[in-house]
Structure 1
């Protein structure tokens, strides 16, 4: 069964600066999965949608940028669901570094 990971990444940058940093470092989110690569990305207002491909799987990812937080949502396919905890930890490590 698939699994959804959600992480709230607080920041003090304001919406525009957080959005700029996310845009410049979005590919780094793929490092949460060994061999992962961002293959598609697009913005709709202050929400980034992107796809990570890894291990023959596709993850639908979303980053909602607000004035004081980024809410990251990753939809894991069934094959990657057992690794949800490890992927969440990587996401929670990378996000704050990007927004420092």
Structure 2
């Protein structure tokens, strides 16, 4: 059974800007997952990003909900990757905060 990681990152950007930043920064989020091989699928359903990523011969799946004042990440971590769950949550929280609070230049 997968161990869910749930992370909420508050923001003051509004839904449209938060979504744009998640769209452009999603690769950075994926790179934090242990053993991610780059094989992934992702699709938007409204303001929800649904994804699957191959990592260490396992599949990590999740949903990122973009809300007016927060972004909520729900990530299912399977069996062998559970040992990474604690540290992963901290790294994802920090990356989310960077994506949603850092001032962005017009060319990013």
Superposition TM-score, scaled by structure 2 size: 0.86
Structural RMSD (CA): 1.2
- Return the alpha-carbon distance in structure 1 between the equivalents of residues 4 and 75 of structure 2: 6
**Deviation for aligned residue 1:7:** 0.4
Q: Which runs of 5+ in 1 are unaligned?
A: none
| SS of residue in 2 equivalent to 1:88 | helix
Deviates more, 1:9-18 or 1:25-34: 25-34
**Deviation for aligned residue 1:50:** 1.0
- Return the alpha-carbon distance in structure 1 between the equivalents of residues 15 and 98 of structure 2: 16
Q: Which runs of 5+ in 2 are unaligned?
A: 102-108
Q: Say how many residue pairs are matched.
A: 100
Superposition TM-score, scaled by structure 1 size: 0.93
Which has the greater radius of gyration? 2
